[in-house]
Amino acid sequence: SSWSFYQLRKFIEYKAAIAGVPVVLVHPKNTSRTCPVCGHVAKENRPSRDQFCCRACGYAAPADNVAAENIRRAAVNQPNAAAN
């Protein structure tokens, strides 16, 4: 909990390189405000810190799960993701 994000990133990159696992960087902006079903982005999609409920399509899930799915999709869809 005392590590900076930079330190954590460098540690993950180091360990991933040893294991031969590629690391793909994804910008976190709006990852927990974007609906993984319809793509609607709104601050109002997060009625609380822990909850996500899309105002456009009604999809609801824990906010952390929504962010993780959006990050996964962004990483998979990045051009040359395996080269990073």
For the record, the structure tokens of 9 come out as 């990133």
Percent of the chain with pLDDT over 90: 80
pLDDT score of 41 more than 70? yes
pTM of the complete model: 0.78
Question: How close are the terminal C-alpha atoms of the chain, in Å?
Answer: 26
Task: Provide the residue ranges of all domains of the chain, joining segments of one domain with +.
Answer: 26-77
What integer is the mean pLDDT of 13-34? 94
Across the chain, mean pLDDT equals 91
Q: What is the DSSP letter of 37?
A: T
The confidence band for 81, taking pLDDT boundaries of 50, 70 and 90, is: low
Lowest-pLDDT choice from 22-26, 34-38, 49-53: 22-26
pLDDT score of 11 more than 90? yes
State the alpha helices, DSSP H only, in 1-84.
5-19, 63-77
**Is 36 within 8 Å of 70 (Cβ atoms)?**
yes
